[in-house]
Amino acid sequence: MKLLLCQKPAPFIHFLSRTLSFFLVFVSVSPDHAALCSTAAKKAEKKHWKRNSEKGCDSCVELENNFDDIKHTTLSERGALWEAMRCLKCADAPCQKSCPTNLDIKAFITSIANKNYYGAARAILSDNPLGLTCGMVCPTSDLCMGGCNLLASEEGPINIGGLQQFAIEVFNKMGIPQVRNPNLPPPEEMPDSYHSKIALIGCGPASISCASFLARLGYDNITIFEKQNYVGGLSSSEIPQFRLPYEVVQFELDLMKDLGVKVISNIKSLGQGGMTLRSLREEGYQAIFIGIGLPQANKHRIFEGLSMEQGFYTSKDFLPLVAKASKPGMCSCRSPLPQLYGRVVVLGAGDTAFDCATSALRCGARRVYVVFRRGFTNIRAVPEEMELAKEEKCEFLPFMCPKEVMLKGGRVHALEFCRTEQMDEGEWVEYPEQVIRLKADFIISAFGSGLTDQTVREAMAPIRLNRWGLPELNPETMQCSEPWVFAGGDVAGLANTTVESVNDGKQASWHIHKYLQALHEQTIGGEPQLPLFYSPVDSVDISVEVCGMTFSNPFGLASATPTTSATMIRRAFEEGWAFALTKTFSLDKDLVTNVSPRIVRGTTSGPVYGPGQGSFLNIELISEKTAAYWCQAVTELKADFPKNIIISSIMCSYTKNDWTELAKMAEASGADALELNLSCPHGMGERGMGLACGQDPELVRNICRWVRQAVKIPFFAKLTPSVTSIVDIARAAQEGGADGVTATNTVSGLMGLKADGSPWPAVGRDKRTTYGGVSGNAIRPIVLKAVSAIARALPAFPILATGGIDSAESGLQFLHVGASLLQVCSAVQNQDFTVIDDYCTGLKALLYLKNIEELQDWDGQSPPTARHQKGKPVPTLDALVGRRLPNFGPYLQEKKLAIAQSKQNQSNPSNIALPSNGSRINQPKKPVPAIKDVIAQALKYVGAYQELDNQDQVQALIDEEMCINCGKCYLACNDSGYQVLLVSSCPRDLTCVHACGGRHTRAHTHGKTHGPHTSSHTTPQPGATFHNLFPLHRFLAQSFFILFPVLFFFSLQLCGCLAASSVAISPCPCSQEFGAAAFACR
């Protein structure tokens, strides 16, 4: 890029085209010659812009005391939406088959893509009560991601763990509690079997999972016994803070406690103080779950007698010390980090070994070696863990087995290894003559763990133990040799990961339930039916009454491809759709035959294929099935689904007898209402039907009168958007007796042509086409305008909206502008009928959140965008270095060094207090609104242009801490706006002339508030200020600023701004050598 600094304008400017010539032009868009630069210069220049680590670099920024999130999977809302929309939502999703807890991954990713974060969290927590923990630490590359069908594509698998983490983090911020299954009787009315005493020993993932499901089943006397003064088991004590913060464990524990589970911590555990399985049995506990993990570390014989004071730790010694010092809220004590220095050798090749290695760097180690017996190809650790250690410059030494510890002055000084090799038969051999000595100041052994404490084993009597000293159990039921004892997690010998431990507890909960019910002579048979996750949101009533008909929710299927047959409507009702319109049918004399191909993807999404299309085009006519077929289908469906509403869609030419006959047939079949299709945009108009009848108010009025005379059930006229005034057509329908209208049908269009000029779709050998109906999100603005215009002109007149409704959020938009019901088609074409669950939970959540005062700065289910880079919080550097720094090249390195220095100056990372928001639970301060309360709520904001205030201006903001330096805001503003961005003599000093002109207004918090604000802008160079313009041209520039915010906000969208709160125009406080402007935002 070539930079031209702002020039001081001449005293008089004679050409209007040069009025704003003082603005920066830094990109040559049409080069007329090849660029020339030496290799030496390019090698030096690339370092200036580098964002990844320098190749061959063997050093790393000091990480001491730095326990910030390091996971690659962490996502911001922008990243989560992008990733979720990329998912294929497969029919038989293999990712779910690879998840130990059987998460409905397709469902929760669908909800995230639709910005229904509550629905996503509910789907996750229904199958996995520790969904946030697992989202952060699951080895997804070996589980769900390993089966992702997108591994067969160039773009690679979906970041499932990151999406899972994101959804539940947003849900956590909502402050919504878990509640009992609302379908259960009150606790006092439950059978005696549900008051049985249940004990769980150890408060780790398996026990929390088991207790959560038992409480959801209705059991109300559940107690967890934990010997430590903290909860969470290994999740708290052995997974570092930078991978799993303690507040995550506490959040999941609080959800469990919401159901009444009791936790008693800091007590003597099994074998200590007399607690045994028998003693618990004598105290009246009818079922006991053992989830104590494997508390003793496996130790190589050469380390016998060595202590921590001598420089030797096991992972069971080291990681809990790190956790207690670095996890705020875990312990009331303020214990220090282990004081490491110099070289640290970590022995082992599992995930725990790599946690030890990366933690050692944060405890002061300058060099960490991870040594293991095997090679890289069969290492036990998952790639995620190994990659993080590699990035932090840990060194790996394979094929080495420890032989002898060398001491000096009573402390560890070195460690000798012998080489190992795997023979062709698979056997591992050691070569004692091949010795390698490695200097070491500390040794951390991570050779796994076991249950070797004899007192604990004795306390587990009378259950039988296997040859490893672990309980013998049925792996399908988790039941031990004694039927009242169950086990799960590490101690059961099956689980190797947190998510597998969670599933052990889940599996055990159902069989504990069966066992307890059998004790009370109640038989539980058939498939397991564990309750889902419930919260107050699920009790929100989203039913609505329209024209005397009660709809369980406002979502139904439009008269289109999803209702091609009666079996499709039946399946839709089974999934939860409240109503459906039949495919439009006619009298037999008007039967049609469709062409093919007739439905194609739209071009509005660009060259993007797969689900999530922004539009479709169809040249399909009405149903090819007879009126008799549809009438019989309606009769059958009404008999089987009496609470669902069926609306028969009918079409005739402008003939009274035809409309009368068909309407009476439809009414006699049992249809709840009719829809008069007066708007089919293609084909049928050529027959004098559809659009031919719907563009003339007089024809519409008469047809409605004919039908009103023929039937007593409600009917709605389906309107076309292809008219000058849709309000006139709606008014004519009302005058004709229609009970409401459907707005609108598809928009007539020609979707696209191929390079050879042939159209798509192309029918027959002649490749002919016709104008078809455009549908989907592309027509949402058109339909929103139509619905709002009708609602403003005809208050309280029912409107069935259709066109671009693909989520609860978009559905709420239509309700806000006056729609009573919502018809869906293209969204089902993009996926399937199961989206209805997402729509319902999403709408319930949106209504529930409306009256929570603490969340008034949210946009629906989206929290305010916090400052971040790649989803991780951005530290404020002004106090550290006196200026802000971009995230590339030497400036990124300087930023990292400043952060490292700041962290090192913290004497104890646990001194950082947890953020407190008072109560964990947010309660609506007013009753949750019903659907009828939000209908037409937004119409007060819609009006004529002359009603807008052109004096109350706002100014976009660029947040430099979130800028990724792409320059898109400058490009869009310069070539598609009013050239109000300039760079002063400092090449990085970005200034907005609008601010320099004295109108210091700023948008805050998603643009929800704005007003006068003292400018923090640095005054630009004299030649580049607004006031130095010639007066006439200053006047012209002032006039441009009236529309500037609109175009500039648009330009910010081009560079991926998720919300107005993430953008700001302010000077870049950098030095001259930066060499390019930091314009864009994320």
Q: Which of 134, 148, 680, 973 is catalytic?
A: 680
From CA 324, how far away is CA 952, in angstroms rounded? Answer: 53
Q: What are phi and psi of 53, to 5 degrees?
A: -70, 145
The continuous run of DSSP H or E covering 900 comes out as helix 889-904
Residue with tokens 């069971």: 316
Sheet holding 616-618, edge to edge: 599-601, 616-618, 772-775, 747-749
The DSSP symbol for 898 reads H
| Per-residue H/E/C for 325-386 | HHCCCCCCCCCCCCCCCCEEEEECCCHHHHHHHHHHHHCCCCEEEEECCCCCCCCCCCHHHH
659 within 8 A of 627, measured Cβ to Cβ: no
Task: At 809, give phi and psi (nearest 5°).
Answer: -65, -45
Residue 863, preceding bond cis, omega within 30 degrees? no
Helix axes 315-326, 351-362, angle to 10 degrees: 50
Grouping H, G, I as helix, E, B as strand and the rest as coil, residue 823 is strand
Q: Which positions ≥6 away from 26 have C-beta within 8 Å?
A: 1, 2, 3, 4, 967, 970, 983, 1076, 1077
- DSSP-derived secondary structure for 530-562: ------GGGG----EEETTEEESSSEEE-SSGG
Residues 6+ apart with CB under 8 A from 585: 622, 623, 625, 626, 627, 629, 630, 648, 649, 650, 651
475-509 burial: b if 16+ Cβ within 10 Å, else e: eebbbbebebbbbbbbbbbbbebbbbbbbbbbbbb
Three-state secondary structure string covering 120-139: HHHHHHHHCCCHHHHHHHCC
Is the Cα torsion angle 265, 270, 272, 275 positive or negative in sign? positive
Residues paired with 772 in a beta bridge: 749
Is 148 designated active site? no
Other beta carbons within 10 Å of 878 = 10
Residues with Cβ within 8 Å of 307's Cβ and at least 6 positions away in sequence, in order, are: none
Q: How far apart are CA 671 and CA 943, in angstroms?
A: 38
Q: How far is Cα 431 from Cα 580, in angstroms, rounded to an integer?
A: 75
Query: In the chain, how long is the greatest CA-to-CA distance?
Result: 109
- Cα–Cα distance, 1070 to 961 (Å, whole number): 13
Cβ neighbours of 552 (radius 10 Å): 17
Closest CA to 1030 of 15, 9, 17, 6: 9
Q: How many Å apart are CA 488 and CA 512, to the nearest integer? A: 12
Q: Are 504 and 206 in contact (CB under 8 A)?
A: yes
* H/E run at residue 822: strand 821-824
**Separation CA 506–CA 501 (nearest Å):** 9
> Per the structure block, which two tokens stand in for 68?
């910030």
Q: What sign does the dihedral 134-139-140-146 (CA atoms) show?
A: negative
Burial 160-170, CB ≥16 within 10 A → b, else e: bbbbbbbbbbb
Label residue 739 exposed, middle or buried (CB < 10 Å: 0-12, 13-18, 19+).
buried
Distance CA 498, CA 495 (A): 8
Q: Which two tokens stand for residue 854?
A: 């603490």
Residues catalogued as catalytic: 680
